[in-house]
A and B are shown apart, each in its own frame.
Chain A
Amino acid sequence: MLTMRKYQHIDLNYLNDLSLGSKDFMQDLITSFIKTTPDSIAKMQDCIGKQDWQQIGGIAHKLKTSFSFMGMENMVKVSKVLQDLGLNNKGLDKIPALVEEVVKEYPLAEAELKEELLQLK
């Protein structure tokens, strides 16, 4: 097992466990995450304009798992709330602010993930 560095927005210990000690797998997963997550976040922003709350809930549901792999604890909590509100059509007025929180925090986590990718190479 690798000893993981400490970061402010991510914690890669869980990903390290899932990778079963494979640096290549960690790199692959982080790269895939960085490649796909911005599109999902952009889709959520689009959905606010369309008031498609169900879709926001669905995307948040999927992101929640990815965020948990990267140890983005706050994002896991936010996406869980977004999932519950969106899918149950409740507290819809809170959704835009929560999506905004994801939009603001994601780049900080991404920067740390890119730093980790350099370490892994």
Chain B
Amino acid sequence: MANTLIYLCDDDELYLKTAVHNLNQNKGLTIKTFTNGEALLSALNKKPDIVILDYFLNSEKPDAMSGIKVLQEIKQIAPDVEVLMLSGQEDVDVAVNSVKYGAVDYIVKNKSAFIRVQNDIKRIMKGKEKDKENAGFKKMILISAIFILFVIIFLIIYYFDKTVFGLLPDPAAPVQEIKPEELPLSQ
């Protein structure tokens, strides 16, 4: 999980502190905290790998953005950012809504929440590394394919137009006979 940037957003500062304390046990994580969705969205240009977002972000400030609204905005601005949704309620609707709008998981804030968050982070980062490897492999295959294509095109041109822009000798041209006395070394 080297150099993984995590954004953690919850309007409950006690929960934020506890989450940071627990997540900091993992090496390679840089964690930035936000107490509202608006601040998080304005920092999205720093391209976090994962956002951990509280579902009920507007519990004390009803005019603040809700977790679902923030999730929708994240997915619109930066679709590659993976979002883990946290909620204090075990509610099927909350879970369904979270996944519907693009969260990779919905985690209830119970005693095993931090273990689950850490497992999810590991899983997401493994997936991202695999995607990177696959992208590199695809690039290599594409370059090889282009190279082979060029070779084939070259051979076709060479076959039909033997001189290939006059740079190569025409294999069909009559062989010039050289007499032995014309050779520079012959005395």
Q: Which residues of A contact B (CB under 8 A)?
A: 14, 17-20, 22, 25, 28-29, 32-33, 36, 40, 43, 54-55, 58-59, 61-62, 64-66, 69, 83
Contact = CB atoms under 8 A, between A and B. Distances in A.
Given A14-B111, A20-B25, A58-B58, A29 B17 contact: yes
A65 B14 contact: yes
Contacts of A28: 17
Contacts of A40: 60
B21 A20 contact: yes
B62 A29 contact: no
A29 B18 contact: yes
A32 B21 contact: no
Contacts of A22: 21
Interface residues on B, range: 20 to 34
Contacts of A61: 56, 59, 88-89
B13 A58 contact: no
Q: Is the interface of B mostly helix, strand, loop or mixed?
A: loop
B82 interface: no
B64 to A, nearest CB: 10
Determine which residue in B22, B58, B88, B109 has the highest number of CB atoms from chain A within 10 A of its CB, and name it. Answer: B88
B102 to A, nearest CB: 24
B14 A69 contact: yes
B25 A62 contact: no
B103 to A, nearest CB: 19
29 contacts: A17-B111, A18-B18, A18-B114, A20-B21, A20-B22, A22-B21, A29-B17, A29-B18, A32-B13, A33-B14, A36-B14, A40-B60, A54-B62, A55-B60, A55-B62, A58-B59, A59-B59, A61-B56, A62-B12, A62-B56, A62-B60, A64-B88, A65-B12, A65-B109, A66-B12, A66-B14, A66-B15, A69-B14, A69-B18
Contact of A59 (B15, B25, B60): B60
Top 3 closest A-B pairs, CB basis?
A: A58-B59, A62-B59, A61-B59
